[in-house]
Chains A and B, each alone.
Chain A
Amino acid sequence: MKNNARIEKLNKKIALLSARIEKAAAERAELLSLATVPLGKVFRLERLLFRLKSGREARREKLSALETGSPARRKARRARIAYLSPEAGKIYSEQIKAKKEKYEKSLDKATEKYIEKAKAKQTGQKGVSYRQVAVAGRKRERLKKTVQHYELQLLRLSEGKYQLLGFFGKIKRSFSQMPYGKQKLVFGLLFLTPWIIGFCIFFAVPVFTTISWSFQKLETVSGGGFKSTFVGFGNYRDLFTTATLAGSTISEVIVASVIDILLDLPTIIIFSLFIAALLNTRFKGHQLVKAIFFIPVVYNITVINNTLTGMFGQRFDSAITEGFNLSQRFAFFLQRIGVGGNLIDFLISAVDRIFTIVNMSGIQILMFIAALQSIPKHLYEAAKVEGATSYEMFWKITFPMVSPIIMTAIVFTIVNSFATSEIMNFMTVNSQGTTMATNNPGLYSAIAIIYFLANALIIAAAFVIMRKVVFYHDK
Chain B
Amino acid sequence: MTSKQSFKTKAASRLASLRERLASPRERMLLRRRALNAIANIFKYALLIGLCFIILYPIILQLALAFRAPEDVNNPAILWIPERFSLKNFEVAMIALRYWEALRYTLILSTIVTVLQLASTSLAGYAFARLRFRGSSILFGLALFTIIVPQTVISLPLLRAVTKMGLVDKPITLFLMSGLGMGIRSGIFIYLFRQFYRGLPVELEEAAVVDGANAFQVFYRVMLPNAKPAIITVGLLSFVWQWNDFYFTKLFSGGQYFTLTTQQVAVLYGLQQALADAGVWSLLGQDITNNPYFSSMILNTCGILVMLPLLVIYFFVQKLFVEGIERSGIVG
Task: List residues of chain A with CB under 8 Å of any chain B CB.
Answer: 175-176, 178, 180, 183-189, 191-192, 194-199, 201-203, 205-207, 209-210, 213, 275, 278, 283, 287, 289-300, 302-304, 306-308, 310-313, 315-316, 319, 354-355, 358-359, 363, 366-367, 369-371, 373-374, 404-405, 407-408, 411-412, 415, 418-419, 424, 427-432, 437-438, 441, 444-445, 448-449, 451-452, 455-456, 459, 472
- Confirm or deny: B36 has a beta carbon within 8 angstroms of a beta carbon on chain A: no
**Interface SS, B side:** helix
Q: Which B residue sits closest to A403, measured CB to CB? A: B332
- A290, A293, A319, A456: the one contacting B79 at CB < 8 Å is A319
In the complex, A308→B268 CA distance in Å?
13
Kindly name the residue among A188, A444, A455 whose own CB sees the greatest number of chain B CB atoms within 10 A: A188
Question: Please, what's the 1-or-0 string for B245-260, where 1 marks a CB less than 8 Å from any CB in chain A?
Answer: 0110011000000000
- A178, A198, A445: the one contacting B156 at CB < 8 Å is A445
Kindly name the residue among B199, B215, B329 whose own CB sees the greatest number of chain A CB atoms within 10 A: B215
In the complex, A297→B216 CA distance in Å?
33
Task: Please state if B148 and A303 are interface contacts (CB–CB under 8 Å).
Answer: no
Chain B residue contacts of A188, Cβ below 8 A: 127, 131-133, 136
With contacts A183-B215, A210-B154, A291-B318 taken as known, whether A374 is within 8 angstroms of B311 at the C-beta atoms is: no
- B132, B244, B261, B331: the one contacting A405 at CB < 8 Å is B331
Whole-angstrom distance between the Cβ of B147 and the nearest chain A Cβ: 7
Chain B residue contacts of A283, Cβ below 8 A: 41, 44
Chain B residue contacts of A437, Cβ below 8 A: 156
Whole-angstrom distance between the Cβ of B193 and the nearest chain A Cβ: 11
10 A–B pairs (Cβ distance < 8 Å), ordered by A: A185-B133, A189-B127, A199-B143, A294-B322, A297-B240, A307-B296, A315-B79, A319-B79, A404-B331, A444-B156
The 7 closest A-B pairs by CB, nearest first: A198-B180, A188-B131, A404-B332, A209-B157, A206-B154, A195-B181, A191-B127
Q: Which A residue sits closest to B209, measured CB to CB? A: A180
Chain A residue contacts of B160, Cβ below 8 A: 209
With contacts A292-B52, A292-B56, A373-B329 taken as known, whether A312 is within 8 angstroms of B156 at the C-beta atoms is: no
Chain A residue contacts of B152, Cβ below 8 A: 419, 424, 427-428, 448
In the complex, A451→B177 CA distance in Å?
23
With contacts A187-B216, A293-B52, A369-B325 taken as known, whether A303 is within 8 angstroms of B303 at the C-beta atoms is: yes
Whole-angstrom distance between the Cβ of A466 and the nearest chain B Cβ: 12
Task: Please state if A431 and B240 are interface contacts (CB–CB under 8 Å).
Answer: no
In the complex, A369→B324 CA distance in Å?
11
Chain B residue contacts of A359, Cβ below 8 A: 55
Whole-angstrom distance between the Cβ of A40 and the nearest chain B Cβ: 27
In the complex, A110→B322 CA distance in Å?
64
Chain A residue contacts of B7, Cβ below 8 A: none
- Confirm or deny: B123 has a beta carbon within 8 angstroms of a beta carbon on chain A: yes
Kindly name the residue among B47, B62, B131 whose own CB sees the greatest number of chain A CB atoms within 10 A: B131
- A176, A291, A428: the one contacting B247 at CB < 8 Å is A428
Chain B residue contacts of A207, Cβ below 8 A: 149, 153-154, 157
Whole-angstrom distance between the Cβ of B108 and the nearest chain A Cβ: 19
With contacts A199-B142, A308-B58 taken as known, whether A367 is within 8 angstroms of B250 at the C-beta atoms is: no
Task: Please state if B148 and A411 are interface contacts (CB–CB under 8 Å).
Answer: yes
- Confirm or deny: B11 has a beta carbon within 8 angstroms of a beta carbon on chain A: no
Whole-angstrom distance between the Cβ of B138 and the nearest chain A Cβ: 12
Task: Please state if B247 and A441 are interface contacts (CB–CB under 8 Å).
Answer: no
Task: Please state if A452 and B149 are interface contacts (CB–CB under 8 Å).
Answer: yes
- Confirm or deny: B292 has a beta carbon within 8 angstroms of a beta carbon on chain A: yes
Task: Please state if B269 and A431 are interface contacts (CB–CB under 8 Å).
Answer: yes
- B44, B292, B328: the one contacting A370 at CB < 8 Å is B328
Task: Please state if B331 and A192 are interface contacts (CB–CB under 8 Å).
Answer: no
With contacts A297-B240, A304-B303, A310-B300 taken as known, whether A358 is within 8 angstroms of B54 at the C-beta atoms is: yes
Q: Give chain B's interface residue range (CB within 8 Å of chain A).
A: 35 or more
Interface residue ranges of B258-302 to A (CB < 8 Å): 261, 264-266, 268-270, 292-293, 296-297, 299-300
In the complex, A419→B303 CA distance in Å?
21
Interface residue ranges of B104-158 to A (CB < 8 Å): 120, 123-124, 126-128, 130-133, 136, 139, 142-143, 146-150, 152-158
- A178, A366, A432: the one contacting B269 at CB < 8 Å is A432
Task: Please state if B303 and A203 are interface contacts (CB–CB under 8 Å).
Answer: no
- Confirm or deny: B51 has a beta carbon within 8 angstroms of a beta carbon on chain A: yes
With contacts A184-B215, A187-B216 taken as known, whether A203 is within 8 angstroms of B154 at the C-beta atoms is: yes
Task: Please state if A206 and B240 are interface contacts (CB–CB under 8 Å).
Answer: no
- Confirm or deny: B85 has a beta carbon within 8 angstroms of a beta carbon on chain A: no
Q: Which A residue sits closest to B53, measured CB to CB? A: A292
In the complex, A159→B117 CA distance in Å?
50
- A310, A315, A363, A449: the one contacting B299 at CB < 8 Å is A310
Q: Which A residue sits closest to B269, measured CB to CB? A: A431
Question: Given A180-B215, A184-B133, 6 more contacts at CB 8 Å?
Answer: A197-B180, A198-B120, A374-B331, A427-B155, A429-B155, A431-B270
Chain B residue contacts of A354, Cβ below 8 A: 54
Q: Which B residue sits closest to A307, measured CB to CB? A: B300
In the complex, A411→B219 CA distance in Å?
29
- A198, A429, A459: the one contacting B148 at CB < 8 Å is A459
Task: Please state if A358 and B55 are interface contacts (CB–CB under 8 Å).
Answer: yes
Kindly name the residue among B132, B157, B261, B326 whose own CB sees the greatest number of chain A CB atoms within 10 A: B157
Q: Which A residue sits closest to B229, measured CB to CB? A: A370
In the complex, A431→B267 CA distance in Å?
10
Task: Please state if A192 and B139 are interface contacts (CB–CB under 8 Å).
Answer: yes
Task: Please state if B307 and A210 are interface contacts (CB–CB under 8 Å).
Answer: no
- A175, A198, A441, A452: the one contacting B177 at CB < 8 Å is A198
Kindly name the residue among A195, A299, A302, A313 whose own CB sees the greatest number of chain B CB atoms within 10 A: A195
In the complex, A308→B296 CA distance in Å?
10
In the complex, A302→B214 CA distance in Å?
47
Task: Please state if B181 and A199 are interface contacts (CB–CB under 8 Å).
Answer: yes
Task: Please state if A195 and B143 are interface contacts (CB–CB under 8 Å).
Answer: yes
Task: Please state if A371 and B331 are interface contacts (CB–CB under 8 Å).
Answer: yes
Task: Please state if A312 and B150 are interface contacts (CB–CB under 8 Å).
Answer: no
Q: Which A residue sits closest to B152, measured CB to CB? A: A427
Chain B residue contacts of A202, Cβ below 8 A: 158, 161, 177, 180, 182
Task: Please state if B307 and A300 are interface contacts (CB–CB under 8 Å).
Answer: yes
Task: Please state if B329 and A294 are interface contacts (CB–CB under 8 Å).
Answer: no
Task: Please state if A291 and B307 are interface contacts (CB–CB under 8 Å).
Answer: no
- B154, B158, B299: the one contacting A307 at CB < 8 Å is B299
Q: Which A residue sits closest to B142, measured CB to CB? A: A199
Whole-angstrom distance between the Cβ of A394 and the nearest chain B Cβ: 15
With contacts A199-B146, A304-B58 taken as known, whether A373 is within 8 angstroms of B265 at the C-beta atoms is: no
- Confirm or deny: B35 has a beta carbon within 8 angstroms of a beta carbon on chain A: no
Q: Which B residue sits closest to A301, measured CB to CB? A: B244
- B153, B179, B310, B321: the one contacting A294 at CB < 8 Å is B321
Task: Please state if B315 and A291 are interface contacts (CB–CB under 8 Å).
Answer: yes
Whole-angstrom distance between the Cβ of B144 and the nearest chain A Cβ: 9
- Confirm or deny: B96 has a beta carbon within 8 angstroms of a beta carbon on chain A: no
Q: Which A residue sits closest to B68, measured CB to CB? A: A312
Task: Please state if B296 and A310 are interface contacts (CB–CB under 8 Å).
Answer: yes
In the complex, A186→B127 CA distance in Å?
10
